[in-house]
Chain A
Amino acid sequence: MLFRVDVAAAEPLADQIAAQVRGGILRGDLAPGDRLPAARELADVLDVNLHTVLRAYAKVRDEELIELRRGRGAVVRGDADAARLRLVELARQFVGEARRQGLGDAEMLAMVKEAQP
């Protein structure tokens, strides 16, 4: 899969890398059991700080998409669910847009309930 980051973008580099991993799982470029590049190597070739990559991997680990094991590196979890991930990604966009428009949590929940057929 392709990792690409833009050092001039407003989005933090770690978030960009985390988004690439998510996108890879979503598109099927990364299948359960696939190993991500070693953090040190990825940091080297993208010319970013090692801790940036580690932060990105930790973020995706916290989202229960990958496992981080000493010695084995970062591996896509067997239960990493592309369908659920797609929903999470949509929710993330929804929340981001709602915040920009100044909506609070209660209003957002109300909108989600309204959206039911």
Chain B
Amino acid sequence: MNRPRTLAAIVLIWAPLLVTVVTWMMWSDRLPARMATHWSGTGPADGYSSARVFWGAMLALGIVAGLAAIGSALRRGGAVGLRYLLGVTGALAGGVAGIWVATATATLADPADARLGWRLLWFVAGVAWGAVVVLVAGPAPATTPPPVPAVTPLDLGPTERAAYSTTLRAPLIIAVTFVAAVAIAVVAAAGPTALWPVVAVPVVALLLFGQVRVTADRRGLRLVAGLLGIPFKTIPLHHIAAVEVAEIDPLEWGGWGYRVTPGRSALVLRRGPGLVLHQTDGRRFAVTLNDPQTPAGLLTALLSRAG
């Protein structure tokens, strides 16, 4: 985590709350007890509520956004997703402050017949505050690559060329998926015909992941759905920063099958040894393999050759 920038982003997320508090102190004695709080379009108001309660709600939402930002910064350390979580909470904090300012200024301009009009822009500006937060938070982990255990590169001579190819099968996953397909089909046949299209889900999963060919060569890493011949994951060599051999724990990577979690994705067919690629954009990709040393050594050799 880039601490100073993350801290600055969190300060910015709390800043709209200050606007909400200061403007209340400035305007509260001039605002009616019940103020216009809902508009359809930019015309006259069509909903009213207590000024104090409305302000309190906007204040509470801003505090929730600020606390959520602190919480995600603490929990998600240097994860890639942090920047966007901060952006979303910043947009929320800015947005509720914008709603408050737009609503209050509309009422102050004409308490008898409040019209929103151009003041909607306060809300738009508030949401755009999220983009400012994203810019300030900056790209997270690319500047601090995690230490990767070194892989012994394959001793590839200058006149040698090499390519790795293997086929993955997961009999257990195939069996479970097959049973799921049959179970859904039986239920669908028994009554709710709307379920029939759902049968396609395990069938497609079976076709895609029942058999996967993994290749590592001068193009990079490729995963091809074996039964259909469709490449569903390719990582070009020049997008690979480092290669690692690791024990893959399905719980750590989001479960079994093809998993996508913020900052990383994986094809996990079992617990055990696997290949982990650190990409140049900071993302990671893992695939479980019986012999990850071979493709890891080959890719490392190809990377050092590419320079």
A residues contacting the other copy or chain, number (CB 8 A): 20
Q: A45-B215, A45-B219 are in contact. Are A5 and B165 (CB under 8 A)?
A: no
For A31, the closest partner residue in chain B by CB is B167
Check if B86 is an interface residue, CB within 8 A of chain A. no
Complex CA–CA separation, A89 to B156 (angstroms): 24
Tell me if B162 and A4 are in contact (CB < 8 A): yes
Tell me if A3 and B159 are in contact (CB < 8 A): no
For A36, the closest partner residue in chain B by CB is B165
Complex CA–CA separation, A4 to B156 (angstroms): 9
Complex CA–CA separation, A37 to B164 (angstroms): 9
Tell me if A46 and B161 are in contact (CB < 8 A): yes
Tell me if B165 and A37 are in contact (CB < 8 A): yes
Tell me if A8 and B161 are in contact (CB < 8 A): no
Residues of the A chain whose Cβ atoms lie less than 8 Å from the Cβ of B159: 6-9
Check if B239 is an interface residue, CB within 8 A of chain A. no
Residues of the B chain whose Cβ atoms lie less than 8 Å from the Cβ of A45: 161, 163, 215, 217-219
Q: A45-B215, A45-B217 are in contact. Are A2 and B161 (CB under 8 A)?
A: no
Tell me if B161 and A47 are in contact (CB < 8 A): yes
B residues lining the A interface (CB < 8 Å):
154, 156-157, 159-167, 213, 215, 217-219, 226, 291, 294, 298
Could you list 9 A-B pairs, sorted by A, with CB under 8 Å?
A: A1-B166, A2-B154, A2-B294, A6-B157, A6-B160, A29-B291, A42-B163, A46-B162, A46-B217
A residues lining the B interface (CB < 8 Å):
1-9, 29, 34-37, 41-42, 45-48
